[in-house]
């Protein structure tokens, strides 16, 4: 066990003090988060945001699509490999490389073990991706998270097992929070089945709520808790928030390439792998951990959301500038094949009727005119 485990004998308020990466800094801001009214307000906000997000996800799922994916479960397999093999392992390795203390490591692991988020669905549209695949991967990873997310947290937190924050890791509460998301998802699927137009509206509302919620959380934590909160976060955590989504996008693209998927599906899987459900991560950190224990690491999923959005936006911009021409050529190539077949068919028709042409004159009179053939 590494040296960062030694301070775990202290009370939870001082967890991580003297860690290799400034454990006291990671736990800093605990007093501010201990404010009861502020803590309750943030809990209500993240809880409502999570419900709206899951409702929108359910509204985007059609039962016919689920049946198709069960017959050909490629999306389910990619969601499993991307969200619960690649991303948790990536989060674990980054926590080790940057020698994070136990509090920061748990926050990073929790984000890495989360299922896919709704941001990927929006970005997939902007890069001409496979929207059905994107939605199925997001929904599948959300359902799989009920069992696999606590398992991944248990496996990868073993490195910090002797620390107080890991000993108090509320896997039961994590499972309960995940289970509570099934209700709005199921309600959304029912709304899609019975009222498709209302479902389309709710999907748009959920996507906008994603942006609005993140902005509100940044404003609340920045203004009410002050700039000292951001200063308490180690520089290595900022570095991980930048590198983790970027590496996730690259891993997803490589995974889709291994499966020999077409380019538009590769872009979709790339975005699905790198985009995490930060609302769920924020809710778990806020609703299951004592504020004085998790401290400023409550901000990590918000930082991740900021950089995953910025990097995905850069991905979209580069595609619009350079990649879209290739997509248009592929589409035009398919149309040209169809046009060639049509032209050949017309030529054959002309050849068959080359012995004469039929012309019509006044009052339904018909006259045959010989056609001169070129020698």
For range 61-84, the mean pLDDT: 79
For range 146-175, the mean pLDDT: 80
DSSP 8-class letter at 369: E
Length of the chain: 375
Flag the least confident range among 106-110, 120-124, 315-319, 360-364.
Answer: 360-364
Flag the least confident range among 39-48, 55-64, 93-102.
Answer: 39-48
pLDDT tens, residue by residue, 178-225? 777 778 888 888 888 888 888 888 888 887 777 777 777 767 666 655
**Pair of tokens at residue 328:** 């248009």
Mean of pLDDT over the chain: 74
CATH architecture assignment, domain 43-328: Up-down Bundle (1.20)
pLDDT tens, residue by residue, 225-270? 556 666 778 889 999 999 999 999 999 999 999 988 999 999 999 9
pLDDT of residue 119: 81
DSSP 8-class letter at 371: P
Alpha helices in the chain (DSSP H): 23-26, 30-33, 36-59, 63-71, 74-81, 87-97, 102-112, 119-126, 131-156, 164-167, 171-180, 182-194, 196-224, 228-231, 235-258, 263-274, 278-288, 291-294, 300-318, 324-352
pLDDT of residue 344: 44
pLDDT tens, residue by residue, 317-375? 989 888 766 555 554 444 444 344 434 444 544 444 444 444 544 444 445 555 554 44
Indicate the pTM of the whole model.
Answer: 0.71
pLDDT of residue 137: 87
pLDDT of residue 124: 85
Instruction: Look at residue 24 and tell me whether its pLDDT is greater than 50.
Output: no
More confident residue, 275 or 6: 275
pLDDT tens, residue by residue, 266-286? 999 999 999 998 888 888 887
Q: What percent of the chain has pLDDT over 70?
A: 68
Domain spans of the chain? 43-328
pLDDT tens, residue by residue, 123-147? 888 888 888 888 888 888 888 888 8
For range 29-55, the mean pLDDT: 66
Chain position carrying tokens 């959380």 = 217
pLDDT tens, residue by residue, 11-21? 443 344 334 44
Instruction: Look at residue 85 and tell me whether its pLDDT is greater than 90.
Output: yes
Q: Classify burial at 168, counting beta carbons within 10 Å of its beta carbon; exposed 0-12, middle 13-18, buried 19 or more.
A: middle
Instruction: Look at residue 167 and tell me whether its pLDDT is greater than 50.
Output: yes
- How distant, in Å, are the alpha carbons of 8, 10, 150, 230, 237 from that of 103? 11, 14, 17, 15, 11
Contact 184, 205 (CB under 8 A): no
């Amino acid at each position: 066990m590494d040296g960062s485990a030694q301070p775990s004998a202290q009370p939870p308020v001082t967890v991580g003090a003297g860690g290799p990466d400034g454990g006291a800094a990671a736990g800093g801001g605990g007093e501010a988060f201990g404010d009861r009214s502020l803590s309750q307000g943030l809990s209500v906000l993240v809880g409502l945001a999570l419900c709206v997000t899951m409702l929108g996800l359910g509204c985007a799922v059609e039962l016919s699509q689920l049946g198709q994916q069960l017959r050909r479960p490629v999306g389910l397999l990619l969601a499993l490999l991307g969200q619960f093999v690649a991303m948790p392992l990536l989060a674990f390795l980054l926590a080790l490389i940057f020698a994070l203390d136990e509090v920061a490591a748990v926050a990073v692991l929790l984000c890495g073990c989360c299922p896919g988020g709704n941001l990927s669905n929006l970005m997939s549209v902007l890069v001409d991706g496979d929207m059905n695949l994107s939605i199925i991967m997001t929904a599948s990873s959300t359902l799989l998270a009920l069992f696999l997310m606590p398992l991944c947290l248990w496996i990868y937190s073993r490195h910090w097992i002797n620390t107080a924050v890991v000993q108090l890791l509320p896997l039961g509460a994590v499972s309960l929070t995940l289970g509570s998301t099934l209700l709005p998802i199921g309600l959304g699927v029912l709304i899609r089945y019975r009222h498709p137009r209302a479902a389309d509206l709710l999907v748009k509302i959920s996507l906008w709520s994603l942006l609005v919620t993140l902005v509100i959380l940044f404003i609340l934590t920045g203004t009410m808790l002050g700039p000292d909160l951001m200063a308490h976060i180690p520089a290595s955590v900022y570095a991980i928030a930048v590198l983790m989504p970027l590496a996730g996008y690259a891993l997803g693209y490589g995974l889709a390439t291994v499966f020999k998927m077409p380019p538009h599906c590769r872009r979709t899987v790339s975005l699905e792998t790198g985009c995490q459900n930060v609302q769920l991560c924020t809710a778990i950190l806020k609703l299951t951990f004592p504020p004085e224990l998790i401290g400023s690491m409550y901000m990590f999923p918000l930082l991740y959301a900021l950089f995953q959005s910025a990097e995905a936006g850069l991905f979209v911009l580069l595609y619009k500038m350079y990649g879209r021409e290739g997509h248009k050529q592929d589409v035009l190539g398919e149309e040209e094949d169809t046009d060639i077949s049509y032209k050949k068919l017309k030529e054959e028709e002309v050849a068959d009727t080359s012995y004469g042409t039929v012309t019509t004159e006044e009052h339904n009179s018909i006259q045959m005119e010989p056609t001169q053939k070129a020698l």
